[in-house]
Structure 1
């Protein structure tokens, strides 16, 4: 009967392969042991060097997959980056190869929209988490007689410099709780003291790599100095802008960004970092606008600072982006440049410091005190800054490798 008949029609697929589209084979994700730390006003993924491939050339693809770069949308949603330079970072820590250090530390800065993986600079903020990571991962063995604190000597492989990190420990781990606070980070935490030993000449071997205190670039006076990282300091007034612009206001001024990048790249050539402006790395030299503490202080109330609170105002850029605070390496260079007569920084710094321990820098998120120490011969012997850090997670990190 008709009602009992079953009609079976052949099933045909209506899906056709996309013409010219590369077919990607489905495969399992890769994973590695890792940790995630906040250091100062930055965050980074941490790896124990022994868990990475032996050859550094094999690291780049891993780091891009972990951070989520390149991302044309600029958000790094498919990784642990945060869409801004202070969150697009990786730190590698391992056994020391330097006789004066306990651990080696390699800093890696990654581009957000591009494939750049940059090993040319150091990150002062993330150094504050290197000592705690070394303790937490047992790369650094605590001594019984100093169970309440640790002092880790760090060899930064990017610059060859030594940094001493001192911080409290609790039950064999780096302490996270404390009563110390830094502007740009909510709440309080345990204080981390960072002493940068002989920080001058990190990349160039000289405090003043061009041989001059002032260089004129694109008609603008600039001081090129190398302390912890190569830096270029220009007066905001000379560029016709206010000294305390917000990061958003700097971003909204493309002409200013173009001028600053041009100065930065030409300074990089003068400092010997590259042969042509186009070849200058994105991460160094850093460039920073400086101005007097009283210059255009309309936002003092908003930032909870007055001209009496700071010795100078600074607005730094990192990898082409205005920084929401001040990078620690830039702060160290500012402290040193403030002591160099005739520099653009010495020209605007308060000659009666707010705090005798060093200079107090007003940045986009608040204030920062940093000290520079010179020996009897006038050489920069050390620089000190205080930060906080915290372990956010540890375990295994998963990343794709579709290359």
Structure 2
């Protein structure tokens, strides 16, 4: 965590004043990577759009950068919006979230809403990710376990893991979070990610027998 706090502002939701958009709600969360989460509907999206469709909308990308810059200031990552947009480009990342809805993956394959718990489209360095970066997925899973966040609001309840629907498919991440009864603070206890392995190459090496004789 870059800020040292799961909820850098101490709140699960903050109201950001964004030029051209007005006041917009956002959840600022710092787990593995600082991120700002906004509702897809609040920025004119359904949440099922692909990277190409999002990147082609210049006004959308400008608005998301302004949200990111304001979030950077609120999280203590930059002193002002200008510095955030000129010098603090990598964090926080922006994620647009929405409740489950069917969509088509990058190869056109259908992804049914029953296959995942929340839609997410992550924007970093002015581009929409074609998949879900591991640290972004970890932060989203943690945020989904914090009552009051926009991620918690959008995610389907229940389930041992949070199944994230991203442009390339579905990724499952487990997260365990402790929250105070008052809701004033939260702490991530653990995050569980899954990886697969496959055989890349096999073969035989021919070694001269003379190497094994005295």
Distance 2:79 2:178 in 1: 33
CA contact (8 A) 2:145 2:177 kept: no
Q: Structure 2-normalised TM-score?
A: 0.80
Pairing of 1:167-206 with structure 2 (within 5 A): 202-206=1-5
Distance 2:196 2:89 in 1: 27
Gaps of 5+ in 2: 181-185, 201-214
- 1:319 aligned to 122, 125, 128, which one? 125
Paired position in structure 2 for 1:368: 171
Paired position in structure 2 for 1:210: 9
- 1:359 aligned to 153, 162, 175, which one? 162
Distance 1:241 1:275 in 2: 30
- 2:97 aligned to 290, 314, 324, which one? 290
- 1:247 aligned to 34, 51, 74, which one? 51
Paired position in structure 1 for 2:210: none
Change over 3 Å in CA distance of 1:376–1:340 after alignment to 2: closer
- 2:104 aligned to 281, 299, 304, which one? 299
**Helix, strand or coil at the partner of 1:282:** coil
CA contact (8 A) 2:145 2:176 kept: no
Q: How far is 1:389 from its partner?
A: 7.5
Distance 2:38 2:192 in 1: 23
Change over 3 Å in CA distance of 1:319–1:387 after alignment to 2: farther
Distance 1:329 1:270 in 2: 21
Pairing of 1:201-280 with structure 2 (within 5 A): 202-217=1-16, 218=18, 219-280=23-84
Distance 1:206 1:335 in 2: 16
Distance 1:307 1:352 in 2: 15
Q: How far is 1:298 from its partner?
A: 4.5
Gaps of 5+ in 1: 1-201, 393-403
Change over 3 Å in CA distance of 1:259–1:380 after alignment to 2: same
Larger Rg computed on CA atoms: 1
1:330 aligned onto 2:129: no
Q: Which has the higher helix share?
A: 2
**Helix, strand or coil at the partner of 2:193:** strand
Paired position in structure 1 for 2:154: 348
Paired position in structure 2 for 1:33: none
Paired position in structure 2 for 1:382: 190
CA contact (8 A) 1:304 1:366 kept: no
Paired position in structure 1 for 2:211: none
CA contact (8 A) 1:208 1:225 kept: yes
CA contact (8 A) 1:303 1:365 kept: no
CA contact (8 A) 1:324 1:365 kept: yes
Distance 2:12 2:179 in 1: 20
Q: Structure 1-normalised TM-score?
A: 0.44
